[in-house]
Structures are given as C-alpha cells and as structure tokens.
Amino acid sequence: EGGDVLVVTGSLSTLDHAEKLRGFEHCAASLFAGLRVAQVIEDHEDLDESYAKCRKALQRGGSIRAVYAATVNSLPVLRALDGLGLAGKVKVITTDLFPALIPFLRSGAVAASIHQRPLSQGRIGFQSVYRYLTEGLCPAPVVRLWPELVLRSNLDVFLERNQRYHAPNTSAISC
C-alpha cells in the first residue's frame, strides 16, 4: 500500500549497515511506488538509545507504516511499538534471527526476519583462508551468500533445520 518506513541500523559508518540501507532505499524506490524511507535511526547497537530514538520517532511520525530493523537490536524497536500500542499495526521486518525474536515471529508482531546465515559466513571465510594458506588459492574478491527470509509460515521448518535457534513456543509479546 505504500507509506513511510522507519529504518533502524547500528551505524552508517559501518559498511554492512550503510549497504543494507542503500539496498533498501534502491529497492523501495524502484519496486514499490509510494514506499519511502521517512527516517533513519542510528542506534550504535545500544539498547537504550535504540528504544528512546524509536519511541520518539514513532510518537512523532503518525505516518510510519513499517519498520525495517536492519540490526540485531530489534527488541527495543518492538518494545517501543508495543508501548505505544502499535504492535501488530506497523509492519516490522528485522535482520538476524535469534531465540528471543522467535515469539515475535510466531505472534505476527514481526512479519519477517532476514537471516544472514552467520555460521555459513564464518565457514566460507574459514575455508577461503584455509585454501589460501594450504593451496595458495586466492579467494574471489566478492563471495555472495543468499540470505533466508524467515516468516511465521516457514519458522518451524527453519527451526527444525537449525536446532540452535530453538526457543519455547510462545506467542506473548514481551522484551
């Protein structure tokens, strides 16, 4: 339907965070007419800073229809939404998956989470270094790893395949 999006990230001086924002803005502009980034919050990976800034932005911006939490610090964002009575009314997409986020996916408070597959990233990095040191093979300058989109509908399949994310099945919204 379009509308304003609040983007929450760690620090735009971190290349990964800046690239996520750039990619989001590019796709929003080219694929979804009417969707625009209304505000970007840098929370510097600080839970209290994230909560305070998000609460302030959400109170001020009645036009915010969605939040993209492009940081592992999505819990303060969810707490701010819940405290303002906006949980479930504002669409939330997060980055990263961790056990405390699972109840929010189950309840629908989080529409989706972009899982970056950190174990695969680490394995690929280790294998690249190992092959360089043992075989002299230089790794490719860019190695792409497709993220996984975790939704309520595929959460149980994802959890079965990735036992380390297992968390109790609860639909309570709490941080």
174 vs 42: which has the higher pLDDT: 42
pLDDT computed for residue 103 by the predictor: 94
pLDDT computed for residue 164 by the predictor: 59
| Each residue's pLDDT tens digit, 113-172 | 998 877 888 889 899 999 999 999 998 888 877 878 899 999 988 888 877 554 444 444
Helices (H), the chain: 15-31, 47-60, 75-83, 102-107, 118-135, 155-161
pLDDT computed for residue 61 by the predictor: 62
pLDDT computed for residue 1 by the predictor: 67
**φ, ψ dihedrals at 49, nearest 5°:** -65, -40
Tokens of residue 50, six digits: 């994230």
pTM, whole model, 2 decimals? Answer: 0.80
| Each residue's pLDDT tens digit, 33-82 | 788 899 999 999 999 999 999 999 999 867 899 999 988 789 999 999 99
